[in-house]
Amino acid sequence: MLENQPDESWTLGPEGKWATGQQTLHLIQSIIPLNNALSMPKFLLRLKYGKANRPVRAYDVIVKRYKERLLEAKGKTFKGSKHMKVPKLADKPYLLNRLQTEAKKLQYKTRLISDKNLDTVILPHPLMGKMPVREIIMWTAYHVEHHTEILKSGYLQLNS
C-alpha cells in the first residue's frame, strides 16, 4: 500500500501532518525496539523490567487506553519521533523493505514465545507504561492500523 503512494506524498505531507516517508520511518522506529527486546533472553527482560502483576487486557481495552493516553499527551511527540526527519525519495525502496522485514521478524519472534512469557514478561512503552509482551504486540498491531488509516483518511490518495 505504501509503495503505491504518489512520490510527492513520500516527502510532503499536508499542513502539520507527516509525509508518507515519515509515517513509514515512525513505524520502523516503533517495531525495531520490540524486535530487539524479543531477541533477548526472557530471564534478562524479567530481571530488568520485572513481571506482570495483573492479567492481560483485551485488545479493545488496550486501544481505548492508548487513545486516552494520546489525548492526555495533547499531541506531544515522543523521543524517537520528535522532529521526525523527512526521508529522501531515494530511500523509499529501502525503508519500505525495512518496514516489511521488521514486520516479518516480529511475526516470527511472536510465534516463538510461549504463552506464559507473552503474558508475564513485561516491557516498557513510552506512553502506556510497562505492559506484558502480548499487550505490546496487540498495541503494535493497532499502531500500524492507526497509521495506515491516517494514510487512507483522504489527505493522501491511495492507488491501491
Where residue 109 sits, what CATH number does that domain have?
Answer: 1.20.120
- Each residue's pLDDT tens digit, 47-87: 999 999 999 999 999 999 999 998 888 766 666 666 788 99
Residue 157 domain flag: no
The whole-number pLDDT of residue 8 equals 83
Do 158 and 151 form a contact (C-beta atoms < 8 A)?
yes
| pLDDT average, residue stretch 123-152 | 91
pLDDT digits (tens, 9 = 90+) for 104-120: 999 999 999 999 999 99
d(CA 119, CA 54): 9
Task: Return the DSSP state at 81.
Answer: G
| CA dihedral sign, ordered 47, 49, 53, 58 | negative
- The structural domain count of the chain equals 1
Residue 9 falls inside a structural domain = yes
Query: What is the residue range of 17's domain?
Result: 2-152
Altogether, the residues listed in the chain come to a count of: 160
Going by C-alpha positions, the residue among 16, 8, 22 that lies closest to residue 147 is 22
**CB neighbour class for 115 (10 Å; exposed up to 12, middle 13-18, buried from 19):** exposed
Between the CA atoms of 154, 155, 156 and 158, what dihedral angle is there, to the nearest 10 degrees? 10
| Enclosing H/E stretch for 70 | helix 59-73
Residue 12 lies in a domain: yes
Q: How far is residue 117 CA from its own chain's centroid?
A: 20
9 close to 20: Cβ distance less than 8 angstroms: yes
Residue 159 maps to a domain: no
pTM for the whole structure? 0.86
